[in-house]
Structure 1
């Protein structure tokens, strides 16, 4: 449904991105931020879904700075490989690519960043540091508590699962306590509940989180 394009970040780095344009006038733009598995089939499907809902969607390949064309599955070996790539990409470098993606779809209207897992953590930082976005949504961003002292400059909402083995509820409560102005939604689900490629997928939670996200975007 979409196409692969090339982005150029402010530091000159070039990365690929998956971009989808909706039929008719766009409602706005969404930058979809990957998990630790690259811009794989799931992330492309997320972009396709938002395009069907009327948004220009783009997913920058954040691993391109260390290894191009990385697409992983969800087995334990993929997790270890993805974590290895993630640790090689600095926050500043990732945000430079997110910024380039947001600017590439600026003509669609208001632009939101929507991130999952690693991308969920980056969504929070994007809300704090990037002037190219208008809103942000973070799904199960495990690193958010580490940067919660930074103050978002745009509206943001967060989604977490109460059975997430990698993000304890104590961390979620810390986020709530330190940022009481941010809507934090907790679902009866585990990590990755939005991804229907994973065993942890929870259709009810995924739909409710999407409904809340679309209401927030509107």
Structure 2
């Protein structure tokens, strides 16, 4: 089913766009899908459609709307340079509040029949982790979330089940960083970690050179099993 763009009210009286993709049955559990730094681009919309085909009502919000609404970049040099500028200029606290508003809007949609989870990639992986700490979602999935190791102070606040995917070759998130995150969740039965040998940062994105089909397929299967156990 083709996706549509909807408007979500923000906490400060404004509004922002989100890409909504519905499952073939028209209803199901909710999933907030958080973009990488290139915006809600063709790849993220396709990933949203993938999860919709698996039976989830998927909502992918425009994280950069406060800086540049409707960001939709490609993976060339200019697009990547712009993406990093937007990431560096992101207002983190407001972004988390916008994601809380997204989760609330998703819960209120008539198509959502179950619980609501979140999955995010790269910058979105970190935001997925931060959203989990607010209690606004029932589970979280973090794909190679850059910077989580620098925000471990919020780890004790995370009471919902949380799943982490990392690439063993990821220079942005070295093994020491992964170990630090693991350490913060030691003894927590609600956290699960997977590190993919031979996989680099961004291994799920088929539009980039570091795409790794095996790691992407494994991680996707594990994510679907996780979501089916926690929000379906």
Question: Which residue in the other structure is 2:35 paired with?
Answer: 34
Higher mean C-alpha displacement, 85-94 vs 184-193 = 85-94
Confirm or deny that 1:128 pairs with 2:150: no
Higher mean C-alpha displacement, 74-83 vs 196-205 = 74-83
Q: How many residues align?
A: 217
Corresponding residue to 2:181 among 175, 179, 194: 175
TM-score (norm 2): 0.90
Deviation at 1:161, TM superposition (A): 0.1
Deviation at 1:103, TM superposition (A): 1.4
Offset from partner CA, 1:25-68 (integer Å, 9 cap, x none) = 63301100000000000000011001100000010001111011
For 1:22 and 1:84, how far apart are their aligned partners in 2? 34
CA change 1:69–1:153 in 2 (3 A) is: same
Offset from partner CA, 1:67-116 (integer Å, 9 cap, x none) = 11111112233222111111222221111221121112214121111000
TM-score (norm 1): 0.95
Alignment of 1:199-218 (within 5 A): 199-218=209-228
For 1:62 and 1:135, how far apart are their aligned partners in 2? 20
For 1:42 and 1:175, how far apart are their aligned partners in 2? 28
- What is the DSSP-based 3-state SS (H/G/I as helix, E as strand, rest coil) of the residue aligned with 1:79? helix
For 2:213 and 2:23, how far apart are their aligned partners in 1? 24
Conservation of the 8 A alpha-carbon contact between 1:120 and 1:138 = yes
Deviation at 1:172, TM superposition (A): 0.6
Question: Which residue in the other structure is 2:194 paired with?
Answer: 185
C-alpha RMSD of the superposition: 1.2
Conservation of the 8 A alpha-carbon contact between 1:9 and 1:99 = no
For 2:82 and 2:38, how far apart are their aligned partners in 1? 8
Where does structure 1 lack aligned partners over 5 or more consecutive residues? Answer: none
Alignment of 1:8-23 (within 5 A): 8-23=9-24
Question: Which residue in the other structure is 2:49 paired with?
Answer: 48
Higher mean C-alpha displacement, 101-110 vs 199-208 = 101-110
Question: Which residue in the other structure is 1:194 paired with?
Answer: 204
Runs of 4+ more than 6 Å apart? none
- What is the DSSP-based 3-state SS (H/G/I as helix, E as strand, rest coil) of the residue aligned with 1:105? helix
Question: Which residue in the other structure is 2:99 paired with?
Answer: 98
Deviation at 1:179, TM superposition (A): 1.3
Conservation of the 8 A alpha-carbon contact between 1:10 and 1:96 = yes
